[in-house]
Amino acid sequence: MGLTHRDVQKLVENSLENRTIKRALLIPPDFTRLHSCGGVICAMYYELLTQRGAVVDVMPALGSHEPMTREQAEQFFGGAIPYEKLIVHNWRRDVVLLGYVPGEYVAKVSDGIMDEPIPVEVNRRIVSGEYNLIVSIGQVVPHEVAGMANYSKNIFVGCGGSAMISASHMLGAAYGMERIMGRADNPVRAVFDYAEEHFLSHLPILYALTVTTRKPEGEFDGVSLEGLFIGRERENFIRAAELSEKLNFIRTGRPPKKIVCRLDEHEFHSTWLGNKAVYRTRLAIADGGELIILAPGVRQFGEDEICDRLIRKYGYTGRDRILKLAKMEQDLRENLSAAAHLIHGSSDGRFEIFYAAPLLSREEVEGVGYKWLDYNEIVEKYNPSQLKEGWNNIGGEEIYYIDNPALGLWNV
């Protein structure tokens, strides 16, 4: 049984004991982490701190994502935080360079795959000195770049700059998703740990890390908050990662020949976000299998104009080709996060990826290297309202259904 609102309120209150806070910065996840319970927890901190007379700023960890709309913020924070209070982090303009993770360290932790220094950039507000409390809130769950999401990733990627986001994502892509996903310790996390120790250790940061599952009876709108770990110590991240490994790693038992994934139309509006369907299932799907992605809300590829253009130009065409292009083509070399995304979103020819996205044309879908399906026809055959999570038999055909790929990591 998960935590209740009362349990969470008590943990949040305890984390503020014996603290006199004049000005605080809250860094919750963005709307793409709708099921993280991060909005609820952020609202609790906001209300408690403002009641105590603190000035509170709220800056969602957008990374390279689009800002929340007013409607999304209302849903995410339950109306507890005024939309005008939200600060939009711009990953291309709002950052300062703190220093570098040395190239020799990068080479050591990556088995020599990368040996260039990695710039450490964060939003300037974080290091401005104006806050005597910074609360970073987010969900620990399997992740394609960091192995397990959150902890210092919320700062260095969620509130990081283009150079650091690009370098860390490219490190993960070059090292290999299959070697990283679901692992708390890996080269990308080692880079974040180095940066945390050398550039953030003097800051008053408190990490609030959640582990959630989706359950109809869940306390938080169908989400069960299974764990909340609050503190500065890395041990909290390890404990959260261990719990996530128990709850968010789903075993299929055998490799599915066909996986059908649904992307919620309110949560996923780009392949940049929706390709969690590719990342999180690739360890499970059979060689030569088919991944069908039902994407009623996907209307674009990238989260900003530059990334969208690069995806359309180069496509999801495989690790080796993209690594080669990233060395040759200046526009891709200057946007390595896009290059990494193109690698992550490719099956490398091992299985086929079909997108059923009614807001994208057939030409657009096929132009980036995916196969197109008519959305209305495919949902008539594979109707999400009639499918159960996991194995299903549809007219003699066996498929594996996933209702939200953001909530786990699937393996045999």
pLDDT in tens, 136-171: 999 999 998 999 999 999 999 999 999 999 999 999
Amino acid at 108: K
pTM for the model: 0.90
CATH fold of 252-411, please? 2-enoyl-CoA Hydratase; Chain A, domain 1 (3.90.226)
405 contacts: CB under 8 Å, gap ≥ 6: 261, 263, 276, 277, 279, 280, 281
Rounded CA separation 101/287 (Å): 38
379-411 confidence digits (pLDDT tens) = 999 999 999 999 999 999 999 999 999 889 999
**Separation of CA 184 from chain center:** 15
203-222 confidence digits (pLDDT tens) = 999 999 999 998 877 788 88
| Structural contact between residues 181 and 409, judged by C-beta atoms closer than 8 angstroms | yes
Encoding tokens for residue 190? 């080692």
Nearest to 32 by CA among 405, 403, 299, 338: 405
39-97 confidence digits (pLDDT tens) = 999 999 999 999 999 999 999 999 888 899 999 999 999 999 999 999 999 998 999 99
Encoding tokens for residue 278? 């590719």
Give, as one character, the DSSP assignment of residue 207: E
Q: Cα–Cα–Cα angle for 110, 338, 89, nearest 5°?
A: 100
Amino acid at 180: I
Pick the CATH number of 5-249 from 3.30.1360.70, 3.40.50.11440, 3.90.1150.10, 3.40.50.2000: 3.40.50.11440
* Domain spans, the chain: 5-249, 252-411
pLDDT of residue 152: 96
pLDDT of residue 155: 97
Rounded CA separation 230/234 (Å): 10
Rounded CA separation 186/308 (Å): 29
Answer yes or no: same fold for 5-249 and 252-411. Answer: no
